Amino acid sequence: MAVSIPFPKKKVARALALRELAVLEAAYPNAVTALDYDSPFTLLIAVILSAQCTDARVNLTTPGLFAAYPTPQALAAADQADVERIIKSCGFFRMKAKNIIAAARGLVERHDGNVPDDRDALEALPGVGRKTANVVLSVAFDEAAFAVDTHVFRVSHRLGLTLGKTPRQVEDDVVKLVPADKLRHAHHWLILHGRAICKAPVPHCGVCPVAPLCPSVKLVAAAVGASAAGVKKTAARARPSARAGATPRRGRSS
């Protein structure tokens, strides 16, 4: 039977939340997006493709896509069936093909082929919601924006940073905790931690650098039948390999 781990029922105190975030910042000092890109345009398309798909799969797909359609103008004029064949492995490929072609047309028709650095203009493009806009603003334009995906939603709740029921509510809660100059990095701290340690459905609390502070340790221990004290003791001794964080690669913004 699958393990079900509830989220904490109350937020941690602000001082504790700041300590948790400081631990994550130290654990993932090189935290950047896992998506490969070389321009705001290629980042925008990659983020749209990443919905319900791993970044690794997107990175395998985009080289072929951008070889065929290297500019917004080229993608705007693409045949949808041809684009579908290229991106099929990303899932929901028909809707994604329709959206990226329409988004490219929007860039060409409204913005001279350039990706706008304005939230409203970004969200007006097909396939671009608040999360996608936040990723593009923070990564491509170094804006103080915070994107909430499934990893960020889960980790923020487990750490007691939020009780938000929606991504926007989670965003608003975390934004209140993180200084503006660090906000664009905070998404990556949380997402990398969610991928490496604070996994669904069961996190690896025994090697988690935040475990001594985390309100979910007892909840996890109760769900899996472990000792919370033992989990914290193990975590205090652990040196997880994820501590190095992500290493920047081509086209990535810090």
Residues 6+ apart with CB under 8 A from 221: 205, 227, 228, 230, 231
Residue 254 lies in a domain: no
Q: Of 131, 165, 172, 218, which is the active-site residue?
A: 131
pLDDT tens-digit profile of 31-79? Answer: 899 999 999 999 999 999 999 899 999 999 999 999 999 999 999 999 9
DSSP string for residues in 110-176: HHTTPPPS-HHHHHTSTT--HHHHHHHHHHHS--S-----HHHHHHHHHTTS---SSHHHHHHHHHT
| Helices and strands, counts by H and E, the chain | 13, 0
From the candidates 11, 36, 96, 149, which is the catalytic residue? 149
φ/ψ region of 153 (left if φ > 0, alpha if ψ in -120 to 50, else beta) reads alpha
Last residue of a domain, one of 98, 124, 140: 140
Say if 22 falls within a structural domain: yes
**Of the residues 140, 159, 184, the one at which a domain ends:** 140
Range of the domain at 46: 40-140
Annotated catalytic residue 149: yes
233 is catalytic: no
Q: Flag whether 3 is in a domain.
A: no
Cα gap 144→182, rounded to integer Å? 8
* CA–CA separation, 168 and 166 (whole Å): 5
What CATH number should be reported for the domain holding residue 75?
A: 1.10.340.30
Domains in the chain: how many in total?
Answer: 2
| Residue type (1 letter), 22 | A
pLDDT digits (tens, 9 = 90+) for 71-125: 999 999 999 999 999 999 999 999 999 999 999 999 999 999 999 999 999 999 9
Judge if 168 and 230 occupy the same domain. yes
Q: Of 92, 115, 140, at which residue does a domain stop?
A: 140
CATH of the domain at 25: 1.10.1670.10
Looking at the structure, tell me whether residues 84 and 44 fall in a common domain: yes
